[in-house]
């Protein structure tokens, strides 16, 4: 004899099965921790451009932020807004040319938060000039900010991250660290090649300690980097950035990429262009 259920009971049974299937399939996503919430992040160069966008997104994701820049106003304003909205942020004024200021950044972070989960080395600038126009002191200063500051800050956070058993070090290079630059960009490109070379190796060295290392190589962004360029050819580059991409786009891509495995990646529009095409 075929068993049957009255219509109201059948509807109730279907509803129960639907809810059960929803719980079963949705449970894994509910149980996944949010990868950025309550993580402590140092971000350098936060007063404009990509660093400012990284800080905004970090705040949206519930990170505890240490904003670092030589120029206080916009970073201070952002830190105040984050705190007023229920987040946590401090500002540390630092000239990254100075080793003692780099030590100050790490100390301020540990004094406030007692841990460091993310170091985002973003600060940098352009020294524009051909090789035959080089001022050696200016070239050395460029490397101090664009390369050595990132290496030094990374070196300082590694022991704490090793002790924690986890951590992430992000370095903002440039597509010019992967392809030849145009006339006058050699010194800047050299700092970005150096970052990629160093931190590709560091990624292998630090992986056994639970520390992830990334190098972002974005293309041109609508920032102040061209406007603030120095050097004999700087004036020729003042207006370039007005036609480049909104830095919020690569900033979002960077946060996504830090949840993946590629050490070197190309955020923003440049990630969709084959590298061989860019080298032409």
Q: Which domains are seen in the chain, by residue range?
A: 37-279 (3.40.50.720)
Q: Alpha helices of the chain — where are they, by DSSP H?
A: 7-31, 49-60, 72-84, 99-113, 136-143, 149-164, 186-206, 248-257, 275-279
- Condensed to tens digits (0 to 9), the pLDDT of residues 66-110 reads 999 999 999 999 999 999 999 999 999 999 999 999 999 999 999
Q: How many CB atoms lie within 10 A of CB 87?
A: 17
10 Å Cβ neighbour count for 203? 18
Mean pLDDT of the chain: 88
Identify the weakest region by mean pLDDT among 14-28, 61-75, 180-194.
14-28
Say what the pTM is. 0.86
Residues 268 and 249: their CA atoms lie apart, in Å, by 6
**25 falls in which pLDDT band (50, 70, 90)?**
very low
Known catalytic membership, residue 188: yes
Q: What is the model's pLDDT at position 30?
A: 43
How high is the pLDDT of residue 24? Answer: 39
Secondary structure (DSSP) of 57-86: HHHHTT-EEEEEESSHHHHHHHHHHHHHTT
Reference 218, options 178, 183, 173; nearest CA is: 173
Longest CA–CA span in the chain (Å) reads: 97
The more confidently predicted of residues 258 and 14 is 258
pLDDT of residue 4: 52
Confidence of residue 12 (pLDDT cuts 50, 70, 90): low
Sheet strand arrangement including 211-216:
88-93, 64-69, 40-44, 118-121, 167-172, 211-216, 264-265
Catalytic residue among 127, 147, 188, 269: 188
Tokens of 244: 């480049």
| pLDDT tens string 51-68 | 999 999 999 999 999 999
């Amino acid at each position: 004899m075929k068993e049957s259920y009255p219509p109201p009971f059948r509807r109730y049974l279907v509803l129960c099965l639907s809810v059960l299937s929803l719980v079963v399939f949705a449970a894994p996503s509910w149980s996944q921790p949010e990868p950025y919430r309550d993580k402590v992040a140092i971000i350098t160069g936060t007063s404009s451009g990509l660093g400012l966008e990284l800080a905004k997104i970090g705040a949206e994701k519930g990170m505890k932020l240490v904003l670092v820049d030589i120029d206080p106003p916009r970073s201070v304003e952002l830190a105040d807004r984050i705190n007023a909205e229920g987040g946590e942020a401090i500002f540390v004024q630092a000239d990254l040319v100075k080793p003692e200021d780099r030590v100050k950044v790490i100390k301020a972070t540990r004094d406030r938060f007692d841990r460091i989960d993310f170091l985002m080395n973003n600060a940098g600038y352009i020294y524009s000039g051909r090789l035959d126009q080089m001022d050696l002191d200016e070239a050395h200063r460029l490397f101090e900010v664009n390369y050595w500051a990132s290496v030094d800050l990374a070196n300082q956070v590694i022991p704490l991250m090793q002790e924690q058993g986890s951590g992430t070090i992000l370095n903002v290079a440039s597509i010019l660290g992967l392809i030849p630059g145009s006339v006058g960009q050699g010194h800047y490109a050299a700092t970005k090649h150096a970052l990629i070379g160093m931190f590709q190796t560091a990624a292998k060295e630090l992986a056994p300690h639970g520390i992830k290392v990334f190098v972002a190589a974005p293309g041109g962004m609508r920032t102040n980097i061209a406007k603030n360029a120095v050097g004999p050819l700087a004036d020729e580059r003042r207006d370039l950035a007005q036609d480049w991409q909104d830095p919020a786009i690569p900033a979002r891509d960077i946060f996504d990429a830090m949840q993946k495995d590629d050490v070197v990646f190309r955020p923003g529009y440049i990630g969709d262009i084959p590298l061989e095409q860019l080298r032409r």
